[in-house]
Amino acid sequence: MRKKDLLNKYILNQSIYIKLVIVAISFILIIILMNANANDEYIMVYKLNFNNYILFILNALCGAIFILTLSSILPASRIFNFYGRNTIIILGFHLLVYAFIKAIHVFILKLPLDILDNNIEYNLCYLILAMILFIPVITFINRYTPFLIGRKKGILQ
């Protein structure tokens, strides 16, 4: 049986109440596993510091179940569809966009980068600013250079 068939059988074809229970349980498990895995150090994937591997993998699986189930509950949105269709562009340019935002952060606003550590407000602002900055990049690539991402014609035309 394929992965998609398993996902459809056990999660996506369930009633809304079962999906809400799955979302709630997976969210609670994420919080519990996150706190259980946070000894004295934070998990830093770029440094290959995962603390407890088993808890890290369980947390990742709960997170995937949470996102998949929640996305099957939420109605379709033009914004989510736009970014979903253009994830390859975001994947290709996210480091440049974040470097640009960090340059503004450090050189123009004169703020230290260490305020980003464990500060959800600043990181959320970075995310929103990055999503806004991706709009012209996505539009340009789709309109003028769709061959860069393997398309014959842009999806915006």
Q: DSSP 3-state assignment of 38?
A: coil
Statement to judge: residues 62 and 110 lie in one domain: no
Please report how many Cα atoms fall inside a 13 Å half-sphere around the Cα of residue 4, on the Cβ side. 0
Query: What pTM was computed for the model?
Result: 0.65
| Number of domains comprising the chain | 2
Statement to judge: residues 52 and 88 lie in one domain: no
Statement to judge: residues 92 and 126 lie in one domain: yes
Whether residue 28 is predicted with pLDDT greater than 90 in this model: the reply is yes
Query: Final residue of a domain: which of 15, 50, 73?
Result: 73
Q: How far apart are CA 73 and CA 131, in angstroms?
A: 23
Question: Tens digit of pLDDT for each residue in 116-130?
Answer: 777 788 888 889 999
- Does residue 133 lie within any of the structural domains? yes
Query: What's the mean pLDDT when you consider all of the chain?
Result: 83
- Does residue 155 lie within any of the structural domains? no
CB 142 within 8 A of CB 156: yes
Other beta carbons within 10 angstroms of residue 5's beta carbon come to 9
Query: Final residue of a domain: which of 38, 55, 73?
Result: 73
Range of the structural domain that residue 100 is part of = 78-149
Question: Tens digit of pLDDT for each residue in 39-76?
Answer: 656 666 666 767 777 888 888 899 999 998 888 888 88
Query: Final residue of a domain: which of 73, 103, 129?
Result: 73
Statement to judge: residues 93 and 121 lie in one domain: yes
Statement to judge: residues 106 and 67 lie in one domain: no
CB 97 within 8 A of CB 130: yes
